[in-house]
Chains A and B, each alone.
Chain A
Amino acid sequence: MLEIKNLHVSVEGNEILKGIDLTINPGEVHAIMGPNGSGKSTLALVLAGKEGYEVTEGSVLYKGKDLLEMAPEERACEGVFLAFQYPVEIPGISNTYFLKSGLNAKRKYQGLEQMDAIDFLQLVKQKAKLVEIDEKLLKRPVNEGFSGGEKKRNEIFQMAILDPDLGILDETDSGLDIDALRIVANGVNKLKGPEKSFLVITHYQRLLNYIVPDIVHVLSEGRIIRSGDKNLALELEEKGYDWLKKEAEQVA
């Protein structure tokens, strides 16, 4: 599904990612943990195609194609979805209209017919239930006046509608209470499948009690310093990141 090789990324001349290697197979859930400033969000935004992130070295293959060559909208249409750490408010565009435009853009890309208003509404109803989002919110402008939890739930709702093959969650759990967290995780779990992969970026081990990862990676100062199974997350929770950092330094 995703094959990242020796990825180096600079932002405004500062090297943030210093050689990432990561392979995600279809059906797998990978978690990336790490302290603040380790480059977690940079990795997410580079994969989504944000401008201003310069890839200085390395490659990213997505379903065998060069992901870095694609425009952000192309990546989305190919099935990459980023749940933003900070979802953007867009006054003047309703959530529903926004999503319908996205979905139909994807369908057009796939050579499918445009979804009409009635089918779309049905899809919305069904998926809104999945993430327990109030349908009234959907008529409002995109994220405008939403609470933090509503914004995050809206991200998962959008993911449910667009049905990506690779879902990247950038700290979707940060700032959520347990109830909201459970809803978000539940949404993700229902989207899982043998052909779907997830990259879950988080600062807290707590989320991984609900979304159980196949592999956990620890990112520190732009490098993956340790990978392991879900128990690695528990160990991190207990001991913090410092012991890993020290180990990594010793190796270096």
Chain B
Amino acid sequence: MKNIFNKGNTDWYTDAFKAFEDRLNGQTSSEIHKLRKKSLRSFQELGYPTTKHEEWRYTNISSLIDNNFEISEPYLSGELSQKDIEKFQFHGLESRCLVFVNGHFASELSNTKDITENVEILSLQKTIDQNPDLVSPHFAKYASINDQSFISLNTAFLQDGTFINIPESVRLEKPVHLLYISVPDVRPKASFPRNLIIAGRSSEMTFIETFAAHKEGIYFTDTVSEIVLHENSKVERIKIQIESDQAYHIAALQAIQERDSRFIDHNITLGGALTRNDINSEFRAENGFCELYGMYSGNQKQHIDNHTTIDHAKPHCESNELYKGILDEKAEGVFNGKIFVRPDAQKTNAIQSNNCILLSDQATIDTKPQLEIFADDVKCTHGATIGQLNEDAYFYMRARGIEKSNARKLLIFAFASEVVEKIKFDPVREKVLEWFAEKLHALKPE
């Protein structure tokens, strides 16, 4: 085992894994468990990334490692009530809601009624137990356990999450809401939610992922989603991260796009002490379309890192990426946007832009567009801006009577709205704006 740990308790996961195995009760010989063990070995090989690692240069996770996290325990009936989760729901939005508490499915809090026939929206654990054949052709086939530490860690401890399987030509009118609530404990817990989403040929669906805390406290969420978009399908994800201010949140998403498919991602980060998102999409066939939108707002000492990769491996695909950040106080932002255009991928059309405003002298952003183009008949553009609030607009608003802290908030709102407006479900968009407004109220006036 390579010893690249920085400090602290370096192998909490070995003991944790033993304890975890004991709890699995009789499943230890299953295929899934073999995969877990393989992933654990892989994690032991890889270790935690340090800032020497190119992909982690600006994100130091030593404070994460300093915590002795315990693996979260399954949900106990009555732990939370409907009232506890109400504030995380989108009023006026008809949706099915799967609720997970510390990464474990909480059936009594969930609403899975009214699910169209043939559509599977299930707890992943249940599916693995009852119908492993549904899961195994795709599971852990796209998010690699071999080179990304936190994917291998997630897979080693994987237990629950969501499995969605949309059959051919089915369109889910109502979005699926996956609500992940963490209940912090005096002993910090780690949870490892895992999603597998399979969109059949010509199917359509939207799912919302909300990561929230029942109360303030330290915990760690390491989540992985794999999304398979078959021919001509469309999947839209809206992720809203409003974790506790002390939470560690590390998430990876891998989308695989077959011919004529469309993947749209909205990535909203408002909470968390340390957040890292890896969002990757791969065009495996022609005429795919991918849109990645992101909005992040940090204050205090929040650290928010978004890494995205769009792999134009095939010709005639189009991608559009827009990320916007608002950083105040001592917040740190990182943006890395990779776009690969492979030699075969002629007629690629790729647009990327990342704009950030820094509201204080101590806030920082490290931004890196990374376009690697190996085909010659392509259109690729990228732009990155870092700035302050528009002073002229600020004065213009004040000259119309708008009080200065309000003018400032309105301008911040306006800046972020270009991204948030892309969410087309009104109740979701409004709720995001509401949470964002709450956060802005927490910002100190100038």
List chain A positions with a Cβ less than 8 A from chain B.
48-51, 71-73, 75-77, 81-82, 84, 87-93, 98-99, 101-103, 105-106, 109, 141-142, 158, 162
Contact = CB atoms under 8 A, between A and B. Distances in A.
B415 interface: yes
A160 to B, nearest CB: 13
Interface stretch (B271-279, B358-366, B402-410): B402-410
B396 A101 contact: no
Contacts of B407: 73
Contacts of A87: 396
B397 interface: yes
Contact of A105 (B395, B402, B411, B418): B402
Q: How large is the interface on B (under 10, 10 to 19, 20 to 34, 35 or more residues)?
A: 20 to 34
B398 A90 contact: no
B401 A90 contact: no
B91 to A, nearest CB: 20
Interface of B: 390-393, 395-404, 406-407, 410-411, 413-418
Given A90-B414, A91-B414, A76 B396 contact: no
A92 B416 CA distance: 8
17 contacts: A71-B398, A73-B403, A76-B398, A84-B399, A88-B393, A88-B396, A90-B390, A90-B393, A90-B397, A90-B411, A91-B418, A93-B411, A101-B397, A101-B400, A102-B400, A102-B401, A105-B401
A98 B413 contact: no
B406 A101 contact: yes
A91 B414 CA distance: 6
A77 B401 contact: yes
Contacts of B395: 50-51, 72, 88
Nearest to A92: B414
Contact of B396 (A71, A84, A162): A84
B399 A105 contact: no
Contacts of B410: 93, 98, 101
Given A90-B393, A90-B414, A105-B406, A98 B400 contact: yes
Nearest to A102: B400
B15 to A, nearest CB: 51
A142 B413 CA distance: 14
B400 A99 contact: yes
A124 to B, nearest CB: 15
A103 B418 CA distance: 25
Most chain B CB atoms below 10 A, which of A75, A87, A101, A162: A101
